[in-house]
Amino acid sequence: MTMNSYSSLCDDFYLDMHVNTELDLPTERDTILSFFERIRKQFPTMGSFYRRGNSEFCLEEDRNLGQYRWISLETDRIGSGVVNPSDLEAAYCQDRLILELAPYMLSVSPLDIGSLDVTFAMDFDYAGSHDEVIAEALFGQSAFSSLLEWPGARPIGVSPSIVIALSEDDYTQGLISIESKTSVYEPRKKDEDDDEAITLSLTVRQYPKPAERFDPLKSFENQCRLAQEFMAERIVPHFVQPLIETIAQRRLT
């Protein structure tokens, strides 16, 4: 599928990468600023730099544009993402740059990487009960749907997720999750002005193999390929389409 295909199926599309490290990342002022200045040299429009809490530093473009890049440094995680990218390669080139710079500017060696994540996520705006939409769209005739046949029962907390192995050795894994933003305590108080969205995400995670030297860039390319294939063959037809159809039907009633 192309980037335009993803965008046409949802209200917002996100492509993120996270490098999870075993050791804490550097916190020295010069190191952090030098790293972000190098990023900005490649992407001059990333001019918003700020600190979140005591241990997270962020650089991003203007969020008000609706399409923007962001990069973050946390205690033991490097984050990189693009919201509503014009195409997949526009996001991938940013992630590759991070992976290329991390060993030299942040002292992140392959031995230090605990796991590498590539995430495709979609938001679906809906002002009503997210839990009811998810249950109706995805539970079908499953055992879970039988619970809703109980007199007076209705779903008020539905955010299913599953982790699956994508390789025989289990070092490559996929996490599929659907997040409801409707409060389990106040399910009826969601009004038409609430802009929260149902979030569907696929994360392909790669753990380094103890007997092999981990190559982050090579792994990243493989994870992106897997994510695109899985999105096209499983996520879009079996998760995205049912959500779209259910939301559309509910808006007509």
pTM confidence score: 0.92
Tens-digit pLDDT profile for residues 137-182: 999 889 998 999 899 998 999 999 999 999 999 999 999 999 999 8
Neighbours of 233 (CB within 10 A): 11
Q: Poorest-confidence range of 75-79, 87-91, 140-144, 188-192?
A: 188-192
- Does the pLDDT of residue 95 top 70, yes or no? yes
Q: Are 87 and 3 in contact (CB under 8 A)?
A: yes
Q: How confident is the model at residue 89 (pLDDT cuts 50, 70, 90)?
A: very high
- Does the pLDDT of residue 127 top 70, yes or no? yes
Number of domains in the chain: 1
Give, for 135, the enclosing helix (H) or strand (E). helix 130-138
- Does the pLDDT of residue 193 top 50, yes or no? no
Instruction: Report the C-alpha gap between 81 and 67 in whole angstroms.
Output: 11
Residue 80, phi then psi, degrees to nearest 5:
-145, 130
Residue 240: per-residue pLDDT: 97
Residue 54: per-residue pLDDT: 83
| Residue 199 Cα distances to 3, 12, 54, 120, 121, angstroms | 18, 9, 28, 11, 7
Instruction: Report the C-alpha gap between 11 and 94 in whole angstroms.
Output: 23
Where is pLDDT greater, at 190 or 8? 8
Tens-digit pLDDT profile for residues 56-83: 999 999 999 889 999 999 999 999 999 9
- Which domain, by its residues, includes 185? 3-252
Q: How confident is the model at residue 4 (pLDDT cuts 50, 70, 90)?
A: low
- Does the pLDDT of residue 216 top 80, yes or no? yes
Instruction: Report the C-alpha gap between 13 and 186 in whole angstroms.
Output: 27
Q: Taking Cα atoms as reference points, which of 124, 93, 159, 142 lies closest to residue 236?
A: 124
Average pLDDT for 82-100: 95
